[in-house]
Amino acid sequence: MARKSKIIAGLKDAVRFARGNHSNARVRKVEVPCPLDVQAIRQRQGLSQKAFAAKYGFSVSTLRNWEQGHRAPTGASRVLLIVIERQPQAVEAALAA
């Protein structure tokens, strides 16, 4: 199959999937934990905002916005915070390496 034909077939399959019809699409669902309590994660570490931000590579203003509820962590920051919450030693070891 020519490259152009593969692209067209992929687009048609995407349209079928979007309409709820049978398609060859692979669907993966990722369960994301409920909203994070960033302040509680930091406090369990026994660190100030400045120390926590420096230790894990966040800006203090970003950390403050998360803790005050003005913003919520997303993407890689969210994942990192979850790992810090559950396995802080793993993050510390990775950052020390």
The CATH number of the domain holding residue 53 is: 1.10.260.40
Looking at the fold, whether 83 and 65 belong to one and the same domain comes out as: yes
Give pLDDT, residue 38.
96
Count structural domains, the chain: 2
Give pLDDT, residue 3.
81
Q: Helices marked H in 1-97 — which ranges? A: 3-18, 38-45, 49-56, 60-67, 75-86, 88-96
Tell me the backbone φ, ψ of residue 75, rounded to 5 degrees.
55, -135
b/e sequence 58-93, b meaning 16+ C-beta within 10 Å:
beeeebbebbeeeeebeeebbeebeebbeeeeebee
Instruction: pLDDT band for 12, please (50, 70, 90 cuts).
Output: confident
Instruction: pLDDT band for 17, please (50, 70, 90 cuts).
Output: confident
Residue 15 pLDDT exceeds 60:
yes
Residue 32 pLDDT exceeds 80:
no
Residue 9 lies in a domain: yes
Tokens standing for 38?
């960033």
Domain that holds residue 59: 38-96
Looking at the fold, whether 71 and 51 belong to one and the same domain comes out as: yes
Contact 41, 56 (CB under 8 A): no
Give pLDDT, residue 9.
86
